[in-house]
Amino acid sequence: MKRCNCHFLTAGCLIFLLIFSGCCGRQPFAAPTMIPGTDKDMMTAGYWITRHPSPDALVLSSEQIQALNWRIETDLKTVLDITRVTQPFANKEIADAIRKDVAHLRSATRYLSSGGSVSSKFYDRMMRDMDLGGLESEIYPAYGVITCFTDQRVLPTMERLFARSSDVDIDMLQNNALDMGTPVLIVHRTLDGRWTYVRAPDSAGWVESDRIARCTRFKLESYVRPDAFVVTTSPKTDIYMNPEQTHAESSVQMGARLPLIPTDDHLFHVQIPARDANGYLVIRQGYVSKSSANAGYLPYTARNILQQAFKMLDTPYGWGGMYGEQDCSRFVQEVFATVGIMLPRNSADQAFVGDLVGEFTPATTPAVKNGGLLNKAVGGETLLYMKGHIMLYLGKVDDTPYVIHDIWGYHAHVSGGDRIYKIGRVAVTDLALGKGARGGSLLDRLLAVRVIR
């Protein structure tokens, strides 16, 4: 398995999505509400907790999680502690990555939201606006904090580009989405100043400049390393600006960390980043319901992971964080963030985290794969990886392995050929999904099994 770089992170899911959406342009059918191989009892965390041998056993202590995070940062080099970056870095790597993305986009016909194809003038305008020649030979980082949920783009535009005019759910310019409070390195700006190229902890790309509050490194460290903090535990947690909870100015996703202002109130009082008139960081006070967050990280147990994952059941699929939703790797990332584990953004990089307990080739038989899962995978603690896709293992029912994952769709074999079904949400499925169809089942495609510990 080859790791890709942190730029254009969501590209790792592209192969999976193109396989399941069908390269021939056929329109998918809507998947049935109850996906084949599942039943209603399987749709709760309790079903899988009941089948777990030790759901409340502590998988890793806080100290062990810190060590795991350190290994993820230092070994994979796809998660970066923004506050530790002090040395200059050369512009060539950044400029080359951007030029490579533009060349990739130019290499085939792309389509705009209007349905028309993208002209060369569009890319010429993007290159002119990005002013890559204006990058200094060495860049000393400036620091900032994202002040509200924002898209991170491959190019400095909110115009959406699609591989096919019908693929409106897969925007090729959507690189990632950054939540409120995300620390960033400020690298470069467009000629008009409206867009800024930033390095976030797990990705790099363009964000709208008015979503960033500049600050010193000292102030950034104070914000991202508070003495006390809350972690959001709902798929979307409202941030209220008054204690009566009548004015919600924004929301954050599951696993977001916000500095806590200690009180004895029935609400969590939290620090919210904002911009002053000159674009610099100021701190405001916000309020979060205690039913939507936890003081500190949750203990890393299978019960907590399963409960957090099932809070996301049926939430819509969002390619690269589109529409404020999540794709397969972001779903896993958010769930594990609630216990303090900082997974990489890309599924291919997530497949290198934890203890490898099973590694397969396309030639490995399903029987061998299934046997390995039976003996070594642990529900709520194990990630299953196939090319371009990541899944959270739940357990087995009658020797059939089950997962919960954010899945776009699948092929099913019917008389006359294959039919494409779009799921487009977080769902429970078995690994037999797709069996007999072109490309095979999820189990056929399985490449790696990793226990996150």
Is 288 in a helix, a strand, or coil? strand
Whether 91 shows a pLDDT value over 90: the answer reads: no
In this prediction, residues 300-328 reach a mean pLDDT of: 96
* C-alpha to C-alpha distance for 296 and 179, rounded to whole angstroms: 18
CATH class of 9-60+300-451: alpha beta
pLDDT at 334 over 90: yes
Contacts of 97 (CB under 8 A, 6+ apart): 5, 7, 8, 204
Three-state DSSP class for residue 209: helix
pLDDT at 6: 41
142 bridge partner residues: 186
Q: Would you state the pLDDT for residue 26? A: 62
Q: Say if residue 275's pLDDT is above 90.
A: yes
Report pLDDT for 93: 85
Residue 17 has pLDDT above 70, yes or no: no
Q: Which residue has the higher pLDDT, 28 or 190?
A: 190
Ranges of each domain in the chain: 9-60+300-451, 79-298
**Taking all residues of the chain, what is their mean pLDDT, rounded to a whole number?**
91
Mean pLDDT value across residues 170-198: 96
Burial of 309 (0-12, 13-18, 19+ CB in 10 A): buried
229 neighbors 258 (Cβ within 8 angstroms): yes
Q: Look at residues 318, 331, 420, 431 and name the one whose alpha carbon lies nearest to residue 371.
A: 431
The pLDDT tens digits for 337-383 are: 999 999 999 999 999 999 999 999 988 998 999 888 877 899 999 99
- Residues written for the chain: 453
**Strand, coil or helix: what is 153?**
strand
Whether pLDDT at 4 is above 70: no
Q: Which of 73-87, 176-190, 219-233, 433-447 has the lowest mean pLDDT?
A: 73-87
pLDDT computed for residue 1 by the predictor: 39
Q: For residue 411, which of 422, 402, 400, 396 has the smallest C-alpha distance?
A: 422
194-232 confidence digits (pLDDT tens): 999 999 999 999 999 999 999 999 999 999 999 999 999
Which band of pLDDT confidence, cut at 50, 70 and 90, is reported for residue 88? confident
Q: What tokens does 238 get?
A: 């409202």
Residues 6+ positions from 11 with CB-CB distance below 8 Å:
4, 346
Residue 389 and residue 15: Cα distance in Å, rounded?
9
* pLDDT above 70 for 15: no
Phi, psi of 263 (to 5 degrees): -150, 170
CA atoms of 100 and 412, how far apart (whole Å)? 36
Q: Which two tokens stand for residue 428?
A: 């429970």
Segment 96-136, tens digit of pLDDT: 999 999 999 999 999 999 889 999 999 999 999 999 988 87
Beta bridge partners of 151: 177
- Band of pLDDT at residue 19, cut at 50, 70 and 90: very low
Q: Where are the beta strands (DSSP E) in 18-141?
A: 29-30, 89-90, 111-112, 138-139
- The mean pLDDT value for 32-57 works out to 97
